A = this chain, B = another copy of it.
Amino acid sequence: MLLTANTQTPLCRKSLMATDRIIRYSVIEVEPDYLDEYLPLALEVGDISMRTEPGVLAMYPTVSKEDSCKITIMEIYASQDAYKSHIASPHFQKYKQGTFHMVKSLQLLDQNPLNPDMYISSGIIPKEE
């Protein structure tokens, strides 16, 4: 499958947040036997989504210090349409189909910000040539 970014691809210009934006924590429990295989695929889909999708405003995956099989991804999509476009993308489909058998549980925890004056954003640290 063709991928559309590598570590030299700069971060794309991002969309403005619409009223139907999605602020979500995805909490994933990975089957321990598949953890080593799963992690690079999760890293890749986050990396490509941030670099190439204007509507992916944040996508920040972390691994629990207490349980390395528990992954939390902080995700912000600019709109419902941005989310639809994300899940239809070749990189998300590669991740989803490639990891389906590795995932023991998945929770999608949608959120509202408590403080409307605050924002959060994620990005990629530029690499020198």
User: CA A50 – CA B114 in complex, angstroms?
Assistant: 14
A1 beta carbon closer than 8 Å to chain B: no
Contact A64 B109 (CB under 8 A): yes
Q: Which residues of B contact A74 (CB under 8 A)?
A: 74, 120
Least CB distance, A64 to chain B, in whole angstroms: 6
Interface of A is mostly: strand
Q: CA A61 – CA B124 in complex, angstroms? A: 23
Q: How far is the CB of A101 from chain B (nearest CB, A)?
A: 20
Task: Name the segment of A41-49, A78-86, A91-99 touching the other chain.
Answer: A41-49
Instruction: Encode A51-68 as 1/0 by CB contact (under 8 A) with B.
Output: 000000010111111100
Total count of chain A residues near the partner, CB < 8 A: 37
Give the Cβ gap from A35 to chain B, nearest Cβ, in Å: 12
**In the bound complex, how far is the Cα of B125 from the Cα of A36, in angstroms?**
39
A118 and B63 within 8 A (CB): no
Interface flags for A115-129 (1: CB within 8 Å of B; 0: not) read: 101111111110100
